[in-house]
Amino acid sequence: MNLDQPRGRGVARILIDEERLQARIREMAAELDAHYGKDEPLLVGVLNGAVTFMTDLMRAMSIHVVIDFMAVSSYGASTKSSGVVRILKDLGEEIEGRRLLVVEDIVDSGLTLQYLLDVLGRRNPKDIRVVALLKKVKAEAASVQVDQVGFTIPDEFVVGYGLDYAGRYRNLPYVAVLDPATLNETEP
């Protein structure tokens, strides 16, 4: 893995490489195929971070799926959650009576996911399942509904495979930890 490319600059170490990511995603997709069977879930991707995971996950699934996206406010250029969540882009699909699969990139404090689940739950879907690629080891993350987790990771700020720091690093094909010097350079 070449960390000297511009997109890899500032990365301290790779936490989960491409091969492990793809192998785990294939396992998760197989579990989802078995879970939904003939039903056609509506995959709700949480923009922007879940895009990479969502596109790989859905291509690894062999059942029919429908997809839609929601965008909620994120951390901006900070690495800490502000605790304030709001909808920036809502779903185009009606969800009443449908089976929803919320696809999240990472559960940190769990605030974003809890907010989304409250909003979606009020629209009376048949059921809601949550799949998150990453979940941090911390008490807060454990208090929110997550049915399937790709990897449980240490409580560190990570980038890559959809996850950003100040808008960058989403196009890394692996999940990595940033060099603390990189965080200090641009932290407001």
Task: Show the tokens assigned to 177.
Answer: 């930890």
Q: Tell me the window of 20-28, 37-45, 100-108, 116-124 that interacts with ligand IMP (CB under 6 A).
A: 100-108
179 is an active site residue: no
Q: Looking at 25, 74, 128, 174, which residue binds ligand IMP (CB under 6 A)?
A: 74
CA angle 20, 76, 177 (to 5 degrees): 30
Are the C-beta atoms of residues 92 and 144 closer than 8 Å to each other?
Answer: no
Nearest Cα neighbor of 136 from 167, 165, 157 is: 157
Nearest Cα neighbor of 141 from 106, 108, 104, 105 is: 108
Site for ligand IMP, residues 108 to 127, rule: CB under 6 A: 108-113
Catalytic residue among 108, 127, 147, 155: 108
Residue 163 as a binder of ligand IMP (CB under 6 A): the answer is yes
Class of residue 150 by CB neighbours under 10 A (exposed 0-12, middle 13-18, buried 19+): buried
Task: Show the tokens assigned to 144.
Answer: 């929110």
Residue 157 as a binder of ligand IMP (CB under 6 A): the answer is yes
Residue 106 as a binder of ligand IMP (CB under 6 A): the answer is yes
Q: How far is the CB of 24 from ligand IMP (least distance, A)?
A: 18
Catalytic residues: 108
Catalog residues that contact ligand IMP under the rule CB under 6 A: 46, 49, 74-75, 81, 104-113, 157-159, 163
